[in-house]
Structure 1
Amino acid sequence: MDEYSEDIFDEKKIKKAINKGKRKSFITIVFVSIIVFVLLTIANFAISAYFSQKAFKQWDAYVRLSTPNGYISETVDSRGILGGMSHYKISKDMKIKSIVIEQKQYQFGLNPSVLISRGAGSSIGVTGEDWQLSYKENGWREMLFFHPEVDYKKYKNDEELIESMDGEKIYEVALSFDQPYKPSELPTLQLPEMTWFWLNTYSNTQLNTFKQEAKEYDWSATFIRENEALGFSIRNSYPSASDWAYEYEEFLELLNTSASSEHQKTYNTMKNIGIDDVEILGVIVYGTKDEIVEIMKDPTIKASSLGGITENY
């Protein structure tokens, strides 16, 4: 074989070796890419799941505090890279059954999805001729509370409205007391089996603001909305000391967990107050028309506000 043929042979071998090396490198790159993709996908899923669960606990606590007897009944996550968005339903325990009242969203993770939110519900009474009520998505009215240490120009009283309604339905009514009561000093009302207790969680600054607003603003807009009232339920007509202690500890834990910074501030104040010294400002009761009206006639009831209504079955 002459020198020219050997050069050609060597050149073919070199090209073959180069092509083989390229294929090997390509296969290696593809294999490594697949491994990296799988690892990143698993890591993204784990991180998103962690933040999703953390956000759920925070927002469920927020809902339980801002919606009396409310809770998140269903969530559907939309996950992206290291985060996402959760669509959730808020249900309310109406003593005999739970009902979905609203649907909302929250973001979670290191890279949450863009959240575009549009208002839901409506309000009436914006002219000052009637109470400035707000409504939930399902049409229920948001309840109003009146702090017993604030001198309001006018107090809401829905007794006549409730008396005119169907007596067999279950009504949700917020009742504001004439003065703060400690658990051991509560009026001897025949409360329903499930009652939500409104606690005095307001600072002196907040209370002074309420007083100033009641003095300067129109009566139709001076009150405390239900999402600004904090408390907890007890499913016992005659709650024991252990019932109070247990529910109060759960209440403090919700405050400490909630996504709201205002709830965290309230926790820092309330954690140093024992249940025996907590003040009760009012209640939310559930029952038929006759049951509710009987409670409303008690002289310790300063105001009443109708909320949800559901069938008694």
Structure 2
Amino acid sequence: MRDKKNNNIDNEEREFNDMFTDLKENKLKKTVRKAKWKSIFRTTIISMIVVIILGVSANLIARNITQRQRGDIQIARDRFFEIARPNKYIGKRKIYDGSSFGGKTIYTTYKLINGKVVFTGEESYTYGPRYGLHTDIMGTSSPMILAQAWDEEDAKEVRYNELGQRRMVFYYPYISYRYYRNDLSLLEDIDQDKYVEIALSFDKAYGFDEMENILPKDVITTWYWIDDLNDEEKEEKKEEERIRTNENEEEETYINPAKVCSEARAYGIKLFDRDGDKIQDPIDRFVSSLERGLDDDTFYKDEFTRVFENIAGEDKEIQRKDIKIQGAVVTGTAEELKKLRNLPFIRASTLGIVTDKY
């Protein structure tokens, strides 16, 4: 009986111990599980905070880069318009910066014809880490009537922009062309309630100070076309005989026409600012824009460098005497511009925009 009683006691103690052990294990498991979930929750929160911080930081950095690059290309574009684009200026800008990477700016352009603003279209460029500093136009295609004139064969025909405005053309003074445009002869057909823009090409390159005594005083000169080419580039503009293989695989000679300069590819000095006020020292303004353009890290830099080096020469410094003028743009009424007819130094003239006075 005693053994049986002792066995019962042992069994009860064992059951009690097992029960206590189970309670301890359950409590430990709950504690461990709770600690595990706390750790997961804490890690998740920390990860989310880190992701948010990194995302905000990356966005701020990208926006800063985008804005800086937008500013760089905008300044370069403004400087480019100071050394090119006869009578043309940048108007209203619409800026579209992306939420993080890249952006786009669309801007209008206009010309001043005797002080009157004439809309000439829209242009655009993209920028930012995603795009780099380049325009968003990867290429263009248009009918010939809307294309630029590249050589004297092209220049025989009138070219227009998309708004139906005539494109002006210049003829290089060191080339003897087979054909010259004389649009001054068209003035008889233009009403006196119109303002006219005409590009003049001279017989040679003149110094800046000489121009004061060449063009009539009562004709408004708005822009000077300058010589921006070196000797090698000038040779490339001349008429040339070339040999090609025809469809019968026979060699034949053909004439590559002499090149002309469309207004979109001409460099020169603006005499009026974008508000129509006369610039007091146009050469200084031109040279300043050109020199500052040398430091621009944009797609314009190569052209700024080429033009600067060709004008400056070996001394790497542009002085007043280095500026050679080979053409001009003038504006006025048809009657006022008739004074230019038969002047011996004008080799060619091409009509630009004709607009109502009011």
SS in 1 for 2:200: strand
Within the alignment, does 1:264 sit opposite 2:305 as a pair?
A: yes
**Partner letter of residue 123 of structure 1?**
M
Change in CA separation of 1:95 and 1:41 when aligned onto 2, cut-off 3 Å:
farther
- Please point out which of 227, 232, 241 is paired with 2:264: 227
Which residue matches 2:113? Answer: 94
How many correspondences in the alignment? Answer: 308
Change in CA separation of 1:155 and 1:191 when aligned onto 2, cut-off 3 Å:
farther
Q: Distance in 1 between matches of 2:259 and 2:353?
A: 21
Q: Distance in 2 between matches of 1:69 and 1:93?
A: 6
Q: Which moved more, 1:208-217 or 1:15-24?
A: 208-217
Which residue matches 1:243? Answer: 281
**Contact 1:123/1:135 (<8 A) preserved:** no
- Please point out which of 9, 17, 42 is paired with 2:35: 17
Structure 1 moving runs of 4+ over 6 Å: none
**1:62 CA displacement:** 3.3
Within the alignment, does 1:5 sit opposite 2:46 as a pair?
A: no
Which residue matches 2:216? Answer: 189
How far does the alpha carbon of each residue in 1:109-166 deviate from its partner, in whole angstroms, 9 at most, with x for none?
332089454636643399x597244322222121111122211111111123232022
SS in 2 for 1:110: coil
Which residue matches 2:334? Answer: 289
Q: Which moved more, 1:132-141 or 1:33-42?
A: 132-141
Report which of the two structures shows the higher radius of gyration computed on alpha carbons. Answer: 2
Q: Which moved more, 1:62-71 or 1:208-217?
A: 208-217
**Contact 2:187/2:335 (<8 A) preserved:** no
**Partner letter of residue 20 of structure 2?**
D
**Matching of residues 39-78 of structure 1 within 5 Å:** 39-73=57-91, 74-78=93-97
Change in CA separation of 1:235 and 1:112 when aligned onto 2, cut-off 3 Å:
closer
Within the alignment, does 1:299 sit opposite 2:299 as a pair?
A: no
Within the alignment, does 1:252 sit opposite 2:293 as a pair?
A: no
Within the alignment, does 1:111 sit opposite 2:130 as a pair?
A: yes
**Contact 2:159/2:167 (<8 A) preserved:** yes
How far does the alpha carbon of each residue in 1:178-218 deviate from its partner, in whole angstroms, 9 at most, with x for none?
22211222215225445201111121112222233599445
Q: Which moved more, 1:169-178 or 1:273-282?
A: 273-282
Any gaps of 5 or more consecutive residues in structure 1? Answer: none
SS in 1 for 2:165: coil
- Please point out which of 135, 146, 149 is paired with 2:174: 149
**Contact 1:77/1:85 (<8 A) preserved:** yes
**1:307 CA displacement:** 1.0
Any gaps of 5 or more consecutive residues in structure 2? Answer: 1-18, 242-253
Q: Distance in 2 between matches of 1:133 and 1:255?
A: 33
**Contact 2:84/2:269 (<8 A) preserved:** no
Q: Distance in 2 between matches of 1:47 and 1:63?
A: 24
SS in 2 for 1:134: coil
**1:91 CA displacement:** 2.5
Within the alignment, does 1:135 sit opposite 2:160 as a pair?
A: yes
SS in 1 for 2:164: coil
**1:59 CA displacement:** 2.8
Q: Which moved more, 1:104-113 or 1:277-286?
A: 104-113
Q: Distance in 1 between matches of 2:163 and 2:38?
A: 68
- Please point out which of 270, 273, 276 is paired with 2:321: 276
Within the alignment, does 1:206 sit opposite 2:233 as a pair?
A: yes
SS in 2 for 1:2: helix
Q: Distance in 2 between matches of 1:69 and 1:129?
A: 23
**Contact 1:175/1:296 (<8 A) preserved:** no
**Contact 1:195/1:283 (<8 A) preserved:** yes
How far does the alpha carbon of each residue in 1:65-108 deviate from its partner, in whole angstroms, 9 at most, with x for none?
44212233224335365434433333223342333313233232
- TM-score scaled by length of structure 2: 0.75
- Please point out which of 154, 179, 188 is paired with 2:204: 179
State the superposition RMSD in angstroms.
3.2
Change in CA separation of 1:62 and 1:134 when aligned onto 2, cut-off 3 Å:
farther
Change in CA separation of 1:216 and 1:190 when aligned onto 2, cut-off 3 Å:
farther
